[in-house]
Amino acid sequence: MSKFVIETPKIVAVPVSGSDALFPVRRIYCIGRNYAAHSVEMGGDPNRETPFFFQKNPDNLDASGEFPYPAHSTNVHHEIEMAVALKSGGSNIPLDQALEHVYGYAVSLDMTRRDLQDRAKKQGRPWEISKAFERSAPIGLIHPASETGYLSEGRIELKVNGEVRQEGDLNQMIWKVPEMISYLSEYFELAAGDVILSGTPSGVGAVKVGDRMEASVEGISSKVVTVI
């Protein structure tokens, strides 16, 4: 076997609940505007339009519990989302087989440089600079679906410094978890290690250094993340 010419990049991994094992990450897909109330607050349509996705970098996931306020933005927003971790994948996955590919669920945050995103939207440019920056996806423990079942309903909530900022129910998702998996697999070849962030309820807003975010999804571990 050939040697690598440089040191191999580190495998990004997320801790699994009730175990000292880790979930290795391959890709991150994020869906936009998947809760009607959030779609409206972002100036969009609350109806079931064709879903759209963007990607973060795998190493943007961060289980440390700290979020460093990023450079070149003065308006960084929290977006609480449920993360769906896949244990297998494929192309053109039928809707009724989609859940068979889910390894588990975690609470996560899709941190966003909103000012840079607004500028990118106006200019018709890509979103990476606003979405796929360092440590932009804080994440909690992954809970195996074999223990939780399919998390199709339950409260999703984000508190900042003890005050509720975002709240909703997983059953308010416009595109459900199996639909997201099936749809994505028509455009990408999904595989073990892929993580899907499933959209945020309304109430997104700015954070500042020192804020304590507490993200929770009913039935799995919550995650406290401090802005540093």
Residues found near Mn ion in the complex (CB under 5 A): 79, 110, 200
Q: Would you say 109 or 181 has its CB closer to Mn ion?
A: 109
The one-letter code for the residue type at 166 is Q
As measured in angstroms, the least distance from the Cβ of 80 to Mn ion is 9
80: nearest Cα among 153, 156, 25, 181: 156
Which CB, 79 or 214, lies closer to Mn ion? 79
Which residue, 16 or 175, has its beta carbon nearer to Mn ion?
Answer: 175
95 vs 89: CA distance, rounded Å: 13
Q: Which is nearer to Mn ion, 111 or 227 (CB)?
A: 111
Cβ of residue 223: shortest distance to Mn ion, in angstroms?
16
Residue 44 CB, nearest distance to Mn ion (Å)?
Answer: 13
> Which of residues 112 and 182 has its CB atom nearest to Mn ion in the complex?
112
In DSSP terms, which residues pair with 109 in a beta bridge? 80
CB of 16 or CB of 35, closer to Mn ion: 35
- Stated as kind and residue range, the H or E segment containing 115 is helix 114-123
Least CB distance to Mn ion at residue 39 (A)? 11
Residue facing Mn ion at closest CB distance? 110
Contacts of 24 (CB under 8 A, 6+ apart): 11, 12, 13, 193
Distance in Å, CB of 9 to Mn ion, minimum: 26
CB of 54 to Mn ion, least distance (A): 9
Give the E-state strand segments of 41-92 in sequence order: 53-56, 61-62, 66-67, 76-78, 80-86
CA–CA separation, 190 vs 227, rounded Å? 32
What number of CA atoms fall less than 13 Å from residue 67's CA on the CB side?
Answer: 32
Surface-to-core class of residue 104, CB atoms within 10 Å of its CB (0-12 exposed, 13-18 middle, 19+ buried)? buried
